[in-house]
Amino acid sequence: MISNRKTILIIAGEFPPIKTIGRIRSVKFAEHLTQLGWKVIVLTVEPRKDSPIYISSLEAEVPEGVEVYRAPWPDIESETIDRIKRLLGYKSPTVQADASPVAASPESGRPSGNHPRASIFDLPLCAYKYLLRNWVNIPDDYRSWSRQALPLAKQICTEQQIDVVYTTLPPFSAARIGYQLQKELGIPWVVDYRDLWYGDVLREWINPLRERLELALERRYMKHANIIIGVSEQKTAFLKQLLKGTQARFDTLTNGYDPEIYTPYLDAPRAVNDTIDFVFTGRLFKNRRGYAFAEALGQLAQEQPNIKDKVRVHILGGVSPEIQQRYDEILTQYEINNIYLFPGDVPYDQAMRTQVNADYLLLIVDTGKTSDGVIPGKLFEYIAARRPIFALADPGATQEIIERAGIGCVVPAESVEQCKTALRRLLESEVPETLARDEDYLQQFERWNISQRLEKILRKTIGSGSEDSTG
């Protein structure tokens, strides 16, 4: 095997110890490719240790034998603002001892809690932040990292025999690195879209002019890709249509799950209580809201008051302020505040234990113009937890998997009426202890099997380069 050993450079802006859902796909591919005989080198960020997404214990996730290079990730915004403040002699107002600290929501950018009176300097600073985030950090705030990482990537390729470069997106700034390596050094380049760049449901806030600029940039980069991978057939088809100018071949590799991770939790008897517990684990922000479920449950509670004692909904994860405000309005309107529990972020171990003990797993899928191709990574965790799923999702890839596998029911993401009908039927039935799942179908989503398919794609890419591309 060693004589045929190949070396891959994985360019991943999201990698341990950064706590993002995107890191898991890269970590698992690195682990499994190593087990399949590859030499794996990862180029990622030097994490900011004061960042809320930096978790030092996640260093343990880095697979043994994987070489990791880290490039600095300058915080241009904070550094520049500090320089401006010093130049202007600005001093932060003293916060009263009983005032709550100001915390900006990463989703909305709006501050929460009590804060001191605005200063004369706040307006220009806000203008600077707006300019930086919307017109300088294009396509994202990893732009400064990609500039630092490119020379290091070239050095790695010079010092080591890299057979193929694999770039995972987002962050989309990472595409520039893979593009330059392929263009200058001719190394085969595989691009893995975990999320869409142009047209993603969570990037609909981008203004039309910037959107056109980014699309031009994306098409320019992808003309040099050898393989482009989407995470659903719908997203792959969208990319194929969008990137007609590329000579790359297209393929699909979904996200997946590791059944063995859940084994210790599944081996224990499921904890049951007097209530029917719906569990959602994840973040609610932007286009991922789930209001239809709350309204449907509220209307049912008005018709059947005993539901207030019978049902509990657990939202384990962060909720952006504007979404929490809307939930508060809905829950108060229907007088079901006691039904919904918002414990916030919990450790991963607790989340898994709660999933396997749930009566139903609530899945809330992002809405938007390309939502048909969205398959949340959370779906695969739920599959591993082996509990029935109640999904709010528009027709598309997620619905197809759930219904094909026989693991739950799906209602349109924003239809209160259809959600109410399905929920009423569910609450009138016994909670199932087991599911008649199509295990043969679900095997394709096990990460080890997905990694083996990736390995075949990589070897074909190395063997064929761009000559075998079909577009």
Mean pLDDT value across residues 50-56: 88
d(CA 30, CA 11): 11
Mean pLDDT score across all residues of the chain: 89
Task: Say yes or no: 28 and 174 in one domain.
Answer: yes
Mean pLDDT value across residues 387-400: 98
User: Which phi and psi angles does 461 have, rounded to 5°?
Assistant: -65, -45
What is the SS3 assignment for 228? strand
**Is 155 inside any structural domain?**
yes
Cis peptide before 388 (omega within 30 of 0): no
The residue behind tokens 């010092």 is 159
Task: Say yes or no: 365 and 432 in one domain.
Answer: yes
Task: Say yes or no: 393 and 287 in one domain.
Answer: yes
Task: Say yes or no: 297 and 415 in one domain.
Answer: yes
Task: Say yes or no: 100 and 151 in one domain.
Answer: no
Mean pLDDT value across residues 46-62: 90
**Is 25 inside any structural domain?**
yes
Task: Say yes or no: 279 and 390 in one domain.
Answer: yes
- Which pLDDT does position 292 carry in this prediction? 98
d(CA 458, CA 452): 10
Task: Say yes or no: 208 and 278 in one domain.
Answer: no
- Which pLDDT does position 52 carry in this prediction? 85
- Which pLDDT does position 87 carry in this prediction? 63
Residue 84 binned pLDDT confidence (cut-offs 50, 70, 90): low
- Which pLDDT does position 94 carry in this prediction? 42
Write down the pTM of the prediction.
0.86
Mean pLDDT value across residues 40-57: 92
pLDDT, tens digit (0-9, with 9 covering 90-100), for 192-232: 999 999 999 989 889 999 999 999 999 999 999 999 999 99
Cβ-contact 112, 15 below 8 angstroms? no
Task: Say yes or no: 151 and 190 in one domain.
Answer: yes
**Is 206 inside any structural domain?**
yes
Task: Say yes or no: 327 and 428 in one domain.
Answer: yes
- Which pLDDT does position 1 carry in this prediction? 41
Which residues have a Cβ under 8 Å from the Cβ of 300 and sit 6 or more positions away?
307, 420, 423, 424, 427
- Which pLDDT does position 135 carry in this prediction? 76
pLDDT, tens digit (0-9, with 9 covering 90-100), for 226-242: 999 999 999 999 999 99
pLDDT surpasses 80 at 447: yes
d(CA 43, CA 156): 9
DSSP class of 133: I
CATH code, 420: 3.40.50.2000
Task: Say yes or no: 23 and 157 in one domain.
Answer: yes
Strands 276-281 and 408-411, by their bridges, are: unpaired
d(CA 58, CA 16): 5
What is the SS3 assignment for 204? coil
d(CA 429, CA 432): 9
- Which pLDDT does position 80 carry in this prediction? 66
pLDDT, tens digit (0-9, with 9 covering 90-100), for 127-178: 767 777 777 889 999 999 999 999 999 999 999 999 999 999 999 999 999 9
pLDDT surpasses 90 at 181: yes
**Is 428 inside any structural domain?**
yes
Task: Say yes or no: 154 and 274 in one domain.
Answer: no
Task: Say yes or no: 273 and 340 in one domain.
Answer: yes
- Which pLDDT does position 161 carry in this prediction? 93
d(CA 422, CA 429): 11
Question: Token digits for 84?
Answer: 């401006």
**Is 471 inside any structural domain?**
no
**Is 470 inside any structural domain?**
no
**Is 36 inside any structural domain?**
yes
Domain boundaries, position 41: 2-73+142-256+448-464
Looking at the structure of the chain, the number of domains it has is 3
Question: Token digits for 381?
Answer: 């965790």
Q: Return the number of other C-beta atoms located less than 10 Å from residue 155's C-beta.
A: 11
pLDDT, tens digit (0-9, with 9 covering 90-100), for 247-292: 999 999 999 999 999 999 999 999 999 999 999 999 999 999 999 9
What is the SS3 assignment for 57? helix
**Is 419 inside any structural domain?**
yes
- Alpha carbons within 13 A on the beta-carbon side of 351: 19
